[in-house]
Amino acid sequence: MRILLHRADGQTEPWIKDFARHLPEAEVVVWRADEALPPCDYAVTWAPPEAMLQPLAAVKAVFLTGAGADGILKFDAQLPHSVPIVRLGDAGMGVQMAEYVTHAVLRYYRRFDEYEAQARAGQWAPLPQHNREDFSVGVLGTGMLGMRVLQALKEFGFPLRAWSRSAKSMDGVQCFHGADGLDTFLRGSRVAVCLLPLTPDTANILNRTNMCKLPQGAYLINVGRGAHVAEPDLLTLVKSGHIAAATLDVFRNEPLPVQHPFWQEPRITITPHISALTLRRESVQQIAGKIRQMERGEPVADVIDRQYGY
Ligand code: NDP
Ligand code: OXD
């Protein structure tokens, strides 16, 4: 069995070692644009270069080393639907995302960001507490990661809301769905957490019109994709105070360019796409297990639905 491995960071050795441990029968071939490849059975990549599409079209399945499939589905038309694209199923990402979002929500709820600023200015001044019942948290996207985040936030007793494509019902969470449910969902969400996949339906969803529907003084946490947010609109709304502050982990252009105005806005917290990192060992173990299932002719979990793009 041969596995074609592509790593944008060029760090292939540790992946090869982990595959040798979990799937010793496989030979791992590293993708290089300028070298002819032997035929491969499976491919492991996340956001492949266009030049890799031809070998990808010839494998039994493409395994993504991430949860989001937008990096490969931008080539949807060039990839045969007969080749399943399989994303990671948690593999240690859920708990990281829960930590990140919980931290950001608590930072705003307990006003730690304001206390940080006060401390820099040498000010000792207790601020009024936010009311928990007014601090509703609305999660856009209730998939693998959104559900894990909601589960973590339940501990703190915030009113919880969720928005998805299909109808859901969850204990202790007010659920909304579809285009018709979006307005009501947004109007009641003091904190909006974006955990949507990037698809033609969700691109730019956090535009001026939709962000204006959030209550005055709302908070935005974007951990989905940069292209969910209309960046100039967010900047305008933060400056006007309609959005009190934002925590952003993902951006239209990554790394965020040095001249980007977000760097100059103290109410925007920037992290470099680290909210839920791919854990190599867990990922290889999971992919090796799925390859074994496929070899036995069994169905595997986490196959991307090409109709919906996630
Ligand atoms: P899932 O595919 O498990 O869940 C996606 C959720 O989004 C589902 O609840 C789905 O609804 C909902 N959804 C999709 N399209 C729409 C739509 N048009 N309208 C309303 N809801 C919609 O994804 P994950 O939870 O695994 O991951 C979500 C995203 O998080 C990834 O696609 C990726 O972009 C991002 N991510 C970011 C990371 C980071 O480090 N910043 C790390 C990992 C992922 P339904 O339930 O009805 O299907
Ligand atoms: C992912 C990501 O999709 O890291 O896994 O963004």
What pLDDT, on the 0 to 100 scale, is given for residue 60?
Answer: 98
What pLDDT, on the 0 to 100 scale, is given for residue 99?
Answer: 98
Residues 78 and 101 in one domain: no
Residues 116 and 259 in one domain: yes
Per-residue confidence in pLDDT tens, the chain, 310 aa: 999 999 999 999 999 999 999 999 999 999 999 999 999 999 999 999 999 999 999 999 999 999 999 999 999 999 999 999 999 999 999 999 999 999 999 999 999 999 999 999 999 999 999 999 999 999 999 999 999 999 999 999 999 999 999 999 999 999 999 999 999 999 999 999 999 999 999 999 999 999 999 999 999 999 999 999 999 999 999 999 999 999 999 999 999 999 999 999 999 999 999 999 999 999 999 999 999 999 999 999 999 999 999 9
Q: Measured from the CB, is residue 68 less than 6 Å from ligand 2?
A: yes
What pLDDT, on the 0 to 100 scale, is given for residue 152?
Answer: 98
Q: Which residues contact 163 (CB under 8 A, 6 or more apart)?
A: 138, 139, 140, 141, 142, 175, 176, 177, 181, 182, 185
Give the integer Cα–Cα distance in Å for 48 and 55.
Answer: 11
Name the domain count of the chain: 2
If you write DSSP's letter for every residue of 176-214 in order, what string do you get?
EEHHHHHHHHHHT-SEEEE-----TTTTT-BSHHHHHHS
Residues 212 and 190 in one domain: yes
Please report whether residue 264 resides in a domain.
Answer: yes
Residues 244 and 129 in one domain: yes
Q: Can you read off the two tokens belonging to residue 309? A: 């793009």
**Ligand 2 centroid to 87 CA: how many Å?**
10
CA of 276, closest atom in ligand 2: 4
Q: Which of 71, 88, 76 is nearest to 302 (CA)?
A: 88
What pLDDT, on the 0 to 100 scale, is given for residue 178?
Answer: 98
Residues 211 and 282 in one domain: no
Please report whether residue 301 resides in a domain.
Answer: no
Please report whether residue 265 resides in a domain.
Answer: yes
Residues having CB closer than 6 A to ligand 1 are 67-68, 93, 141-146, 163-166, 195-199, 201-202, 223-225, 249-250, 273, 275-276, 310
How far apart, in Å, do the first and last CA atoms of the chain sit? 28
Residues 25 and 116 in one domain: no
Q: Measured from the CB, is residue 48 less than 6 Å from ligand 2?
A: no
Please report whether residue 160 resides in a domain.
Answer: yes
Q: Which residues contact 180 (CB under 8 A, 6 or more apart)?
A: none
Query: What pTM, to 2 d.p., does this model score?
Result: 0.98
Q: Measured from the CB, is residue 67 less than 6 Å from ligand 2?
A: yes
Please report whether residue 304 resides in a domain.
Answer: no
Which residue range is the domain that position 28 belongs to? 2-91+278-295
Q: Measured from the CB, is residue 66 less than 6 Å from ligand 2?
A: yes
Residues 72 and 180 in one domain: no
**Ligand 2 centroid to 224 CA: how many Å?**
8
Q: Can you read off the two tokens belonging to residue 297? A: 């002719």
Buried-exposed string 209-236: b where 16+ CB fall within 10 A, e elsewhere: ebbebbbeebbbbbbbbbbbbbbebbbe
Please report whether residue 110 resides in a domain.
Answer: yes
Which residues are designated catalytic?
Answer: 225, 273
Residues 17 and 164 in one domain: no
Q: What is the CATH number of the domain that holds 191?
A: 3.40.50.720
CA of 68, closest atom in ligand 2: 3
Task: Look at ligand 2, atom 5, and give the residue with the nearest C-alpha.
Answer: 66
Give the integer Cα–Cα distance in Å for 58 and 72.
Answer: 15
Please report whether residue 309 resides in a domain.
Answer: no
Residues 52 and 168 in one domain: no
Please report whether residue 302 resides in a domain.
Answer: no
**Ligand 1 centroid to 17 CA: how many Å?**
31
What pLDDT, on the 0 to 100 scale, is given for residue 29?
Answer: 97
Q: Measured from the CB, is residue 224 less than 6 Å from ligand 2?
A: no
Residues 6 and 71 in one domain: yes
User: Which residues partner with 63 through β-bridges?
Assistant: 44, 86
Residues 123 and 49 in one domain: no
Q: Which of 35, 85, 32 is nearest to 59 (CA)?
A: 85
Strands 2-5 and 137-140: unpaired
What pLDDT, on the 0 to 100 scale, is given for residue 255?
Answer: 98
Residues 99 and 81 in one domain: no
**Ligand 2 centroid to 119 CA: how many Å?**
34
Q: Measured from the CB, is residue 94 less than 6 Å from ligand 2?
A: no
